[in-house]
Structure formats: structure tokens, C-alpha cells
């Protein structure tokens, strides 16, 4: 076997062989892109793991955003911060479910896209300052969110697994805010109004341009968060549109990720919300294969899922392990891509106080070969004994003994999820979360002049600038230069007999839970102290601990 560097690369193969490439047709229209995609598919059919291949794509097939920025599971950071709000373990599990359903809104509000491939040692950091959720008087109703909302989609857009009992319509937060403020915002208006909800107006460097991402997220969002209905006008609710939140301190969530392996591609990530005693971490690695007419995406061997740790408060000591489902990119041969989910996501609560623990199963229903995809799910919240092992075999709803089930839920992972208590005939369904009314909350990123050379936006600046200017040939040249520099650095490490050592994370990430180095902790502390525009919740206490 050829020698293997610490980055996972078989060095001899990596240095000698050329990457599989797709020639740029020069046609940047949809038909031209589709032809290039078809050429790529012909080259990868039968390959066991496309993600492990060395692919070099024309820049015209890429979206102008780095991979490390695209993948972060924090499309709704306000719901991550809310997991530790309740004293009740059951309600904390409900909150963990809401976060799990909302972490990838890009698959609901956006289109399938290909960001830049990360290079070894590349890193990305950012933060969000969000208004914490508030809670309605009815404890069965979901928390009220205050940033980046639109009126929920019609009930008939998607269906539930069972008929929904008649309920009195409740005015949405967005509708209430619009009435109260006497105004609304649309995607056609100036981004200066929307910037009030962005974390750091004037201080943030978007992946594409301020008018597309940070300052006006609904105008286009760099094609990252295009509405799946392609609506030309959407109503946004901003911080100042919600009277009861005036002057309310915000919660800061910081984020750091680094590419720790190049072949296979592996990145480590870590997010922290000190004022709410919540941390999120994990390892990202995927395996992809063309199966029939779809691209099937599964977690790689190092990707064990997401780990949400509660470091204090009511849930101190608890960890919520959230596994990944199986994803499929469909419509490849029609050139009309969409995502479906398969199998299951399992959320397991461990640690904290002794005794019985809670576990949730989100089961994605198989889509029909005929008709429109429904994106349906069903699931249960159940108790389990951590001293036993039989619960590990409960991977589907039907496996769970009825006596262990505390609640059931169903709906569409692109629309509304409802839930009800089990074994209580008089219990009515309540809304767990309505995803159709949520938009991605923009992140705040330090300006380019404050970024390091291997920080994502700085590293890919020339490629991004050329893509936005539609200078695809020049963008490809800059992209190839970055890739060649990575090969040269790998060759130099081999010549010197050195191994790559990540800067922000420890090299041992076999458990799936990355460990920050001293430099990683410092980077997050710096992000916590970044420019503060809004009053922040317990920021001084967080910095002193």
C-alpha cells in the first residue's frame, strides 16, 4: 500500500495521478451545465464512493460559496440555543427535535448546489446574534421565533400521515408583527432594512455580496437559499417588527470549522452558546454513489452525527446525539434536482441525572415512484434504560414497545410537524414546528482584511469575485491554482517526511466528537468578543468563565 499522510492521502497516487475532470463547454446556460453534469455522471457510474475521488469541476458548475461555510447545521441557531431552556427533560427533547428538523433549512428553502471543495487546513469561523425564542401561554405550542420569518405555507401544500383535527387558525408571529408594526418587508426592497436583523451590518463579509447574503437574504442569497416555490415577494419579520422584543438581549452563538483531511474529505466543527450552556460539535464526512437515477449520500465512517452538549443549567451533563439520515439527490437526468431523505434520524439523550432517559426516532417515509414527493415523516419519543442494550435495535417506529412511547409525531419535514402525547385519548395534536415559515438566519463574518490566508472567504476570494462577475474562465484558473498549491504542499510534506497537523482541532477524531486545541479555543473566544451591535445576554459572565 502506498504511504499515507496524516491527511489521509495516498501520497504516491495523489501526486502522480491526475484528477478526473469535466471540460468546460463554455456554455454557462442551464443546458450547458446539464451537459457537463451528464458527462460527469458517465465518469462516476459504478464508483463506490464519489466523495473520495479527485474531481476537478469547471467553476461554472459551482455556487460562489465555500464548502465549510455552506455546511454548518445552524440555519436556525435560535433553536439550538433553546434546547436548554426548560426544566422538563421531555420538553428538552422536543426542543432537540425542533433543532434537528430546522438545522438544514437550505434543503427546504434552497436548491441543490455544489460549493467549492475545501482544501486541507482551510477553516471558517462566524457567529450569530439572535433574539432568543419566547414561549406562548399554551405549553403544547412551539416557541415563538423572532427573526427571518415568513407567513407559513398553506396547510394543503403538504399532507400529514393522518387527518388533522379541525383547529382554530392561530395568527402567525409574522402576521402579528406586520399588523403591529404597520409595515412589512419584501424581497424587492432595499437590503438596508433587512440589515437590522443581520448580526453585524457593515462589518460582515458575505460569501458573495452584501446585497445577496448578509444585507438582503431573500433577494437571492447567492442561490443558496432560494425559495422552493420561487416566489418573487416574501414578507420578512425583523427584530424591530416585534414590539415585545425591543431591547431584549440577544444570544451569541459562535462557530468554528476546519478541514482536517483532504482525501477522504473530512472536516471538524464546533459551535458554542455560552450564555445558554449549549455546545454543538461533530465530524463531517460523506460517502456518495450514483444509484439508479439518484445520487445517494450517506455519512462516512468518521461521521457519527451531531453532538449537542448541555454544560450547565437545567440539563447540565446531558448530551443529545443526533444521527444523520440517508439523503438522495433526485431528478439528475431531468436537470431538476431535489433532495429526499430516507431511513431514520435517531436522537439519544445520555448523561445528566440518573434513571430513565429519552430517545426519539424520526422515520422518513419511502417516496412513491409515481406522483409528487410528499417528504413525509413519522416518529416517537420513548423512554429507554441506559443500562440495557436492546433499545439500540429500535431503529424504526414499529420496533419501540408501546409501553415505552411517551409521544408520537408526524407530518412533512418541509412543512409542518405535529405531535401529541401517547396513551391519552383526549390529547389533541399540537404543532411541533412549522418549517414553511422559517428562513435561514444570516451569519456574521469578519471582514476579509481581518481574515487569515487560509480562512474560507479569504482563500476563495478570487474565485468568488470572478463567479459573481460571470468570468467563468478566470474563476476556473484561480480554482485550479488553489488545487495545485494544495498538491505542491502535499509533495513538500512528503519530501520532508512531515505530517499535516490541524490547527484548531486535535488530530484524533475517531470518536466523531472533535476536541478543540488551544488555538481552537482562542479562535472561538475571539469570535465571542467580535463587534457587539446589540446588547448580548450574559456576555461578560461567559467571557470570565
Structural domain boundaries of the chain? Answer: 23-150+235-542
Per-residue pLDDT band at 180 (split at 50, 70, 90)? very low
Q: What is the pTM of this model?
A: 0.81
Q: Please state which of the ranges 71-85, 149-163, 207-221, 436-450 shows the lowest mean pLDDT.
A: 207-221
By mean pLDDT, which of 41-55, 213-227, 276-290, 523-537 is the weakest? Answer: 213-227
Query: For position 497, what pLDDT does the model report?
Result: 92
Instruction: Report the C-alpha gap between 340 and 381 in whole angstroms.
Output: 23
Cβ–Cβ < 8 Å for 216, 191: yes
68: cell is: 465549510
The two beta strands, 123-130 and 416-421, are unpaired
pLDDT at 336 over 60: yes
pLDDT of residue 165: 38
pLDDT reading at 333 higher than 80: no
Burial class (CB in 10 A: 0-12, 13-18, 19+), 45: exposed
Which of 126, 124, 117, 461 lies closest to 261, judged by CA? 117
Q: With bands split at pLDDT 50, 70 and 90, how would you rate the model's confidence at 510?
A: confident
Closest CA to 409 of 446, 382, 385: 382
Inform me whether the pLDDT recorded for 154 exceeds 80.
Answer: no
* CATH for 23-150+235-542 (3.30.230.10, 3.40.1160.10, 2.40.160.120, 3.40.640.10): 2.40.160.120
The three cell numbers of residue 275 are 450564555
Please check the confidence at residue 161 and state whether its pLDDT lies above 60: no
Q: Alpha-carbon distance 446 to 343, whole Å?
A: 39
What is the rounded average pLDDT of the residues 439-446? 94
CA distance 476 to 480: 6
pLDDT, mean of residues 526-543: 79
The predicted model gives 249-260 an average pLDDT of 96
pLDDT band, very low/low/confident/very high, at 262 (cuts 50, 70, 90): confident
Dihedral pair phi/psi, residue 142, rounded to 5°: -70, 160
Peptide bond between residue 264 and the one before it cis (omega within 30 degrees of 0)? yes
Amino acid at each position: 500500500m502506498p504511504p499515507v499522510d496524516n491527511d489521509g492521502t495516498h501520497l504516491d497516487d495523489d501526486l502522480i495521478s491526475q484528477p478526473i475532470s469535466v471540460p468546460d463547454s463554455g456554455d454557462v446556460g442551464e443546458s450547458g451545465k446539464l451537459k457537463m453534469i451528464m458527462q460527469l455522471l458517465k465518469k462516476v457510474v459504478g464508483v463506490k464512493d464519489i466523495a473520495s475521488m479527485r474531481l476537478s469541476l469547471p467553476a461554472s458548475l459551482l455556487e460562489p460559496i465555500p464548502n465549510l461555510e455552506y455546511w454548518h447545521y445552524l440555519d436556525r441557531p435560535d433553536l439550538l440555543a433553546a434546547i436548554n431552556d426548560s426544566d422538563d427533560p421531555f420538553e428538552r427533547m422536543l426542543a432537540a427535535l425542533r433543532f434537528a428538523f430546522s438545522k438544514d433549512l437550505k434543503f427546504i428553502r434552497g436548491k441543490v448546489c455544489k460549493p467549492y471543495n475545501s482544501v486541507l487546513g482551510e477553516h471558517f469561523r462566524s457567529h450569530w446574534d439572535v433574539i432568543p425564542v419566547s414561549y406562548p401561554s399554551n405549553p403544547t405550542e412551539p416557541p415563538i421565533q423572532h427573526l427571518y420569518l415568513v407567513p407559513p405555507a398553506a396547510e394543503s401544500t403538504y399532507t400529514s400521515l393522518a387527518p388533522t383535527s379541525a383547529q382554530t387558525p392561530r395568527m402567525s408571529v409574522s402576521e402579528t408583527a406586520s399588523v403591529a408594526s404597520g409595515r412589512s418587508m419584501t424581497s424587492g426592497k432595499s437590503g438596508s432594512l433587512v440589515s437590522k436583523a443581520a448580526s453585524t451590518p457593515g462589518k460582515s463579509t458575505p460569501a458573495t455580496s452584501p446585497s445577496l447574503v448578509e444585507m438582503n437574504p431573500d433577494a437571492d442569497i447567492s442561490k443558496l437559499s432560494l425559495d422552493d416555490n420561487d416566489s418573487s415577494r416574501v414578507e420578512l419579520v425583523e427584530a424591530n417588527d416585534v414590539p415585545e422584543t425591543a431591547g431584549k438581549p440577544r444570544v451569541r452563538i459562535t462557530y468554528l470549522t476546519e478541514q482536517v483531511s483532504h482525501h477522504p474529505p473530512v472536516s471538524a466543527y464546533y459551535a458554542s452558546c455560552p450564555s445558554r450552556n449549549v455546545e454543538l460539535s461533530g465530524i463531517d464526512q460523506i460517502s456518495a454513489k450514483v444509484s439508479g437515477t439518484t445520487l445517494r449520500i450517506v455519512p462516512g465512517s468518521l461521521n457519527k452525527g451531531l453532538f449537542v452538549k448541555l454544560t450547565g443549567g437545567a440539563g447540565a451533563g446531558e448530551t443529545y446525539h443526533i444521527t444523520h439520515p440517508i439523503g438522495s439527490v433526485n431528478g439528475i437526468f431531468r436537470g431538476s434536482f431535489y433532495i429526499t431523505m430516507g431511513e431514520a434520524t435517531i436522537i439519544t439523550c445520555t448523561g445528566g441525572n440518573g434513571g430513565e432517559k429519552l430517545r426519539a426516532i424520526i422515520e422518513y417515509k419511502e417516496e412513491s415512484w409515481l406522483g409528487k414527493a410528499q417528504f413525509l415523516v413519522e416518529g416517537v419519543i420513548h423512554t429507554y434504560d441506559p443500562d440495557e442494550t436492546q433499545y439500540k435495535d429500535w431503529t424504526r417506529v414499529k420496533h419501540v414497545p408501546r409501553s415505552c412511547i411517551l409521544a408520537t409525531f408526524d407530518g412533512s419535514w418541509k412543512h409542518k410537524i405535529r405531535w401529541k402525547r401517547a396513551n391519552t385519548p383526549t390529547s389533541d395534536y399540537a404543532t411541533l414546528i412549522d418549517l414553511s415559515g422559517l428562513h435561514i438566519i444570516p451569519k456574521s463574518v469578519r471582514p476579509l482584511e481581518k481574515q487569515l490566508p487560509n480562512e474560507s472567504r479569504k482563500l476563495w476570494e478570487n474565485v468568488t469575485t470572478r463567479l459573481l462577475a460571470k468570468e467563468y474562465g478566470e474563476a476556473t484558473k484561480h480554482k485550479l491554482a488553489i488545487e495545485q498549491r494544495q498538491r505542491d504542499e502535499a509533495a513538500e510534506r512528503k519530501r520532508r517526511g512531515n505530517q499535516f497537523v490541524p490547527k484548531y482541532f486535535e488530530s484524533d477524531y475517531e470518536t466523531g466528537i472533535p476536541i478543540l486545541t488551544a488555538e481552537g479555543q482562542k479562535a472561538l473566544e475571539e469570535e465571542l468578543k467580535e463587534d457587539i451591535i446589540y446588547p448580548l445576554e450574559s456576555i461578560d459572565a461567559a467571557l470570565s468563565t
